[in-house]
Structure 1
């Protein structure tokens, strides 16, 4: 693939401090894009920025709570003032609940997962759409999950619902704005070896993580989708580990994660 395909384009990547976001930012910067790194912790973003600059990348870190409209509006205004309109939006940031069983998850925890995984994608997309429509070009790539298609206790009720919602929203964008030159792509990875695995009810062992999809694998797909000629769009892309692992034990542990003490007797 031509490494200069994206030269000069402005790409904004959320969740850029680690995992898929960091790998995607590195891939886009290596392809010549000017990359905006978005996350919640400036010290983490500055570390990523320093590493990518050493590799010759043009990157700009920005702190933003992407589920808050006022902060998203300010972020996009700042980026447009400094770099110009956003050409490529990569909605990657995600959050999962600690309680995975719909029987016990609290409303506040459910809403927090929807805000980060679904509402934030809407807010960011809405913020960059006017500029893309004005230019008649733009790419929106959103990282969903195979949990959108095969929801279970591993990701949890809230996460699967949010990822299904964002998949639907990307299909809406594609059907509504494709003739305006806007490309909307939804990427659905299976298990990816990212820091979110540390929060699982039973964190996978290293050997299991090594067999998962790796962040750089998803980043390669994101780069491909962004680098295709404007005449072509990948509507949806599924990425899964080649080998299927036994998750039955993980599911049983996840079922009881966060259960009230008076319900744990049911487990026996």
Structure 2
């Protein structure tokens, strides 16, 4: 028998990469999965693939950095499918320059909103209904940038990902006796489409040695399918082989720099 039969799950950032694979694996264990993101076409394609494979999935486009949009999303899920049993906060992005000296207040806020504010809004929206139902699982995909901040992730992204790690720790410490399982998954580099946006995208050979989306999804699935009496507080996963990131980090240092800023390079 599938371990998540009858459970309702929300996965954010589910149109591509890690989120898409998380949704597929949760559905494979019997969960009814709501795939959330900004690009409806990608979400629908992922949901269709799950449904064709015998699962049950729905695509919902929403700007989860906005409180009203989150309220509307959770209202629809509750009315159509029932209370949320599993929330996977996977969506995230790094906007603009990585170097603190070049990050505009607008780019900082956009990065914090995508990686931290959205997690707060969604977790807040599902928390009390989960408690009233007798428990639930909230899993957030943080980043190795929360533990080892550097130019590759950037100042805003690393700070926001550290923030969600702290938020999940708060949920665990505060609501565990009400059967809320709050888990942080902290992955290192993963071969996803977001790597294409780097100043120097990894080569095919480098990508092959990185973690793959299904690896992170398996970690999320473990957190969701353990018996309710057991919670994973945090799981740090990294590629077995460490690659030289020095060139990537140096390029990231100057990514988005204003004209002439490179002249100050030591």
**Aligned positions of 1:2-21 closer than 5 A:** 4-21=2-19
How far apart, in 2, do the equivalents of 1:97 and 1:42 lie? 21
TM-score, normalisation: structure 1 = 0.98
Give CA-to-partner distance per residue, 1:119-172, whole Å, 9 cap, x none: 000000000011101012100000000100000000111100000000000000
**Aligned positions of 1:4-153 closer than 5 A:** 4-153=2-151
Give CA-to-partner distance per residue, 1:60-100, whole Å, 9 cap, x none: 11111000000000000000000000000000000112301
Q: Which ranges in structure 1 are unaligned for 5 or more consecutive residues? A: none
**Deviates most, 175-184 or 258-267:** 258-267
Partner of 1:203: 201
How far apart, in 1, do the equivalents of 2:261 and 2:5 lie? 57
Instruction: Indicate yes or no: 2:211 matched with 1:216.
Output: no
C-alpha deviation, 1:46, in angstroms:
1.1
Partner of 2:175: 177
Runs (4+) off by over 4 Å: none
Partner of 1:227: 225
How far apart, in 2, do the equivalents of 1:121 and 1:263 lie? 34
Give CA-to-partner distance per residue, 1:221-254, whole Å, 9 cap, x none: 1001100000000000001000011111111111
Q: How many residues align?
A: 266
How far apart, in 1, do the equivalents of 2:104 and 2:123 lie? 28
CA RMSD of aligned residues (A): 0.9
TM-score, normalisation: structure 2 = 0.98
SS at match of 2:153: coil
Give CA-to-partner distance per residue, 1:161-210, whole Å, 9 cap, x none: 00000000000000000000100000000001011101112111111111
Give CA-to-partner distance per residue, 1:4-41, whole Å, 9 cap, x none: 11001000000000011000000000000000000111
How far apart, in 2, do the equivalents of 1:203 and 1:218 lie? 20
How far apart, in 2, do the equivalents of 1:231 and 1:8 lie? 19
Given that residues 11 and 86 in structure 1 are in contact (C-alpha distance below 8 angstroms), is that contact kept between their aligned partners in structure 2?
A: yes
C-alpha deviation, 1:267, in angstroms:
3.3
**Deviates most, 164-173 or 130-139:** 130-139
How far apart, in 2, do the equivalents of 1:258 and 1:43 lie? 30
How far apart, in 2, do the equivalents of 1:97 and 1:81 lie? 34
